[in-house]
Amino acid sequence: MEKVIKPASGYIYLFMALAGIAASIYLFTQEMAIVGGILLFLSIICIPGFFIVEPNKALVMLLFGEYKGTVKAYGFFWVNPFMTKKKISLRVRNFENKPVKVNDKIGNPVMIGTIVVWQVQDTFKATFDVEDYENFVHLQTDAAVRKMAGKYPYDDFEAENAEITLRSGVEEVNHSLELEISERLEHAGIKVIEARISHLAYSSEIASAMLQRQQATAIVAARRKIVDGAVGMVEMALHDLKMKDIIEFDDDKKAVMVSNLMVVLCSDKSASPVLNVGTLNQ
């Protein structure tokens, strides 16, 4: 587990090291070479212990292979010069994953691109539990996208009973993707701040066919709407004529009138009226 430590201030030890070097030079001038040499050696060997930590950066400390802790505070510090220091960034990072080909719930190949915003939360896991945590983020994101895509159909044209689809259920799908990626990256001490789909389209080999299907479905839906409206208008016209006692129709004349009105209302072109100069029976 991660252990946060705060080492000693580097300014105090820097002053001590400089004082030791000055004292050793003085001892050399006083012909006390052995003592001066020892003091100079100790002062020089302390120099590798100095280090600087920038804001939103961390240093993982190892002493002969043993984990001693992580320095997250920024500033100038000093630690045991024999400690090994591994730098790791705590800044928020993001990447846009290139669209990958995956299969949706009903097997259609689709292209999905993602944007993931993340940061290192546990430096111990990020350093020691995975080989390369940045590469781990990219690979696990691809795997999460493939699993998430298999839960939902692309749209509701073929899966009419689907409550959530990749195209329409944006919030739900993004939330599912974020949870899936978070679960996978938890092993590497990575916190997922946001994950969302940035690109969604049918794969090229079926895109043309799916576009034609969508157009046909849209045309059928529009025609159904037109027919429903036309039926209502015809019903209203017959009802008003009867209520206002304008004209009486037998069944044959009603059928002719309904037929003419449906043709006029449902046609996608303007109707050409034909004037009847005779009687209604002609």
pLDDT tens digits, one per residue of 47-59: 888 989 999 899 9
* The token pair that represents 35 in the structure block: 């003592």
The two beta strands, 190-202 and 109-120, are antiparallel
Pick 30 or 48 by higher pLDDT: 48
* Residue 62's pLDDT band (cuts 50, 70, 90): very high
Residue 245, number of CB atoms within 10 A of its CB: 7
Helix (H), strand (E) at residue 174: helix 170-185
134 in Cβ contact with 183 (< 8 Å): no
Tell me the backbone φ, ψ of residue 79, rounded to 5 degrees.
-135, 180
Percent of the chain with pLDDT over 90: 16
Whether the per-residue pLDDT at 4 is higher than 80: the answer is yes
What pLDDT was estimated at residue 270?
61
Whether the per-residue pLDDT at 117 is higher than 90: the answer is yes
Lowest mean pLDDT among 79-83, 86-90, 186-190, 248-252: 248-252
Q: Distance between terminal CA atoms of the chain?
A: 97
Instruction: Give the pLDDT mean for 159-171.
Output: 71
Instruction: Give the pLDDT mean for 209-213.
Output: 63
Q: What is the pTM of this model?
A: 0.66
* Residue 277's pLDDT band (cuts 50, 70, 90): low
Helix (H), strand (E) at residue 97: strand 93-103
